[in-house]
Copies of this chain bind each other. A is one copy, B any other.
Amino acid sequence: MTTPRYQQLADDLSHCIRSGVLKPGDQVPSVRQLCALHDASPATVTHALHILEDRGLIEARPRQGFFVRTQSFAYPSQCALPGRPKAIELEGHRKLVMEFAQTCGNHFLGMSAIDDSLFPTKALKKLLVQQLHRNDNIVNDASYTGDIALREQIARRSLLLDCDFLPDEIVLTHGATEALDLCLRLLTKPGDIVAIAAPGPLRTLEMLEGQGLQALEIPSHPCDGLSVDALEFALRHHKVAALVVNANFPSPTGSLMPDKEKARLAELTGRHGVPVIEIDIFGELTHGPQRPKPVKAFDRHDNVLYCGDYRYVISPGFSVGYIAAGRHRLTLQACRKVHGEPVAALIQQTLASFMASGQYEPHLRRLRSQLASQMAAYRAAVFRYFPKGTRVACASGGMLLWLELPEGTDMTELQRRSHCEGYVFAPGALFSQGESFNNCLRINTGHPMTVELEQGVRVIGELAHAVQAEAAVLA
């Protein structure tokens, strides 16, 4: 599967914007100019421009054409070099995490989640009842490594990822969390150094802490994801036991690694013999027409352990994860028998029959377009209510919106006041051990925009104004 022409063009133009060839406020060349420059059809060029618009990089001005957005992210300077590996045991960080976990429960803007109305409830219910009638022992059946029907469906769909998993190498788990846990157990021992993205998913940081591992934070761009240059530098200077990477729309930024970088990443880690644990739980939630490939698609060395999860794709009631374990399959299957709990066959077989039923693709199309329009609504609200100088990441998939407030914004104070008003967001400091993201925050856009949620964005935005104004007076 090759990258389509419009995608290539969109990637090239993104690169021009991020590298500064096209600056904020600049007019983008016209469709006619681009057609001539790139030897492409008007349809291809228009498609590429819409992708850039979706990514938040450019905006249309009536009768004038496209302009580079002034509020998109610039490549932060601290992205140049990774820090030093650190054992994770920051008391302050832990406190922050616990506070967040205790408060975010019923707050739609806080925890990453997708609204129940976006899941195929009726179809799943019908299939559950069918399964109960069809199979006598299904309520007791449970397996450690996975029902064959489900493993076959996963293998079949892997062709769309440009991978070709075998049913035999799939190991089922309780969600991607357990998948990551097992892979780390397999590849590391306490004290080892594991490379991760910064900012990166909170769960990964927490899991490294739990297993007594050291985190080597590799800078990750809010739009392009993990910096492979920084990773290359890190691998030259440290003995890294494994890399954990989420290439497609990860928490907190929703970034997307370009295919070229994914290929480089696979080649680089293969050459250094550093195994990769790839978590691809949001890849299916692309807002664009094409589901992005995982790093695994570029893996020529059987060096990438690919982990998926149906929780955000099919339903939180079906939090079934899996590992495409390649040459590690026997060890991981045995490992799961010792460390894991069996997964109910009822859940697995219903999932498999949903995937086999022909209802999966239409569901995905609806889910993707709904998430895209929700993200747009929240992004618009942020532009409306947040202070000037707020940068907004350009996620083109998933449901997480990453904001960078002007340097020096007192996030602790903003968080405290927002919470008093009844609104919770995820502060940037959650997603790294360092302090680079203390002026950032993450908003969940998984729920359809309502008057009340818009009010929430407004309140947080206005409080950000207030906090900034007070800081300016003090300075």
Q: Which residues of A does B touch, CB under 8 Å?
A: 89, 97-98, 101-102, 104-105, 111, 116, 119, 121, 124-125, 128-129, 132, 136-142, 174-175, 177-178, 185, 189-191, 202-203, 206-207, 210-212, 311, 315-319, 321, 330-331, 333-335, 337-342, 344-347
A-B CB contact pairs (8 Å), 16 listed:
A102-B330, A102-B334, A104-B337, A116-B137, A119-B140, A124-B139, A128-B128, A140-B317, A142-B316, A142-B319, A177-B341, A191-B212, A202-B338, A203-B339, A311-B342, A319-B344
Q: Which of B203, B334, B342 contacts A101 (CB 8 A)?
A: B334
Given contacts A140-B116, A140-B316, contact A311 B174 (CB under 8 A): no
From the candidates B116, B212, B316, name the one contacting A211 in the complex (CB within 8 A).
B212
The minimal Cβ–Cβ distance linking A175 to chain B, given in whole angstroms, is: 3
Q: Is the CB of A139 within 8 A of B128?
A: yes
A175 touching B341 by the CB < 8 A rule?
yes
Q: Using Cβ atoms and an 8 Å threshold, which residues of chain B touch A129?
A: 129, 132
Q: Are B124 and A128 in contact (CB under 8 A)?
A: no
- Listed from nearest, the 3 A-B pairs whose CB atoms lie closest are A190-B212, A175-B341, A101-B334
Chain B contacts for A124, CB-based, 8 A: 139-140
Contact A319 B339 (CB under 8 A): no
CB-defined contacts of A340 to chain B, threshold 8 Å? 177
In the complex, the answer to whether B338 meets A206 with C-beta atoms within 8 Å is: yes
**A140 vs B363: C-alpha distance when bound (angstroms):** 15
Q: Name the residue on B nearest A178 (C-beta).
A: B341
Q: How far is the CB of A281 from chain B (nearest CB, A)?
A: 11
* Cross-interface CB contact of A344 among B140, B141, B321, B347, cutoff 8 Å: B347
- How near does chain B come to A316, taking the closest CB pair, in angstroms? 4
Summarize A's interface: helix, strand, loop or mixed.
Answer: helix
- C-alpha gap A210/B301 in the complex (Å): 27
| A317 in contact with B142 (CB, 8 Å) | yes
What is the minimal beta-carbon distance from A380 to any residue of chain B, in angstroms? 27
Please, which residues of chain B bring their CB within 8 A of the CB of A341? 174-175, 177-178, 311, 319, 321
Residue contact B102 to A333, C-beta cutoff 8 Å: yes
- Among A89, A97, A140, A174, max chain B CB count under 10 A is at A140
Q: Report chain B residues within 8 Å CB of A206.
A: 338-339
- Give chain B residues whose Cβ lies under 8 Å from the Cβ of A98: 331, 334-335
Docked CA distance A141–B125 (Å) = 12
A177-B140 contact given A132-B125, A318-B344, CB 8 Å threshold: no
Structural contact, B128 and A140, CB atoms closer than 8 A:
no
Q: Are B189 and A89 in contact (CB under 8 A)?
A: yes
Contacts of A337 in B (CB 8 A): 101, 104-105, 111
Partner of A139, one of B137, B315, B319, B334: B315
* Residues on B with beta carbons closer than 8 Å to the beta carbon of A137: 116, 121
Q: B residues within 8 A CB of A128?
A: 128, 132, 139, 346
The closest CB in chain B to the CB of A111 belongs to: B337
A101-B141 contact given A185-B210, A189-B89, A342-B316, CB 8 Å threshold: no
A315 to B189, CA, bound (A): 34
Known contacts A116-B137, A119-B139, A190-B190; can you find 16 more A-B pairs with CB under 8 A? Answer: A101-B337, A102-B333, A102-B334, A104-B337, A111-B337, A116-B140, A121-B137, A124-B139, A141-B316, A185-B210, A191-B212, A206-B338, A206-B339, A207-B339, A317-B346, A319-B344
- When A121-B139, A124-B139 are in contact, do A344 and B317 touch as well, CB less than 8 Å? yes
Chain B nearest CB, measured from A360 CB (Å): 15
CB neighbours (8 Å) of A116 from chain B are: 137, 140-141
A470 to B: closest C-beta gap in Å: 30
Q: How far is it, in angstroms, between the C-alpha of A429 and the C-alpha of B340 when the chains are bound?
A: 21
A317 CA to B346 CA, complexed, in Å: 8
Q: Which of the residues B119, B141, B175 comes within 8 Å of A317, measured between beta carbons?
A: B141
Residues of chain B within 8 A (CB-CB) of A142 are: 316-317, 319
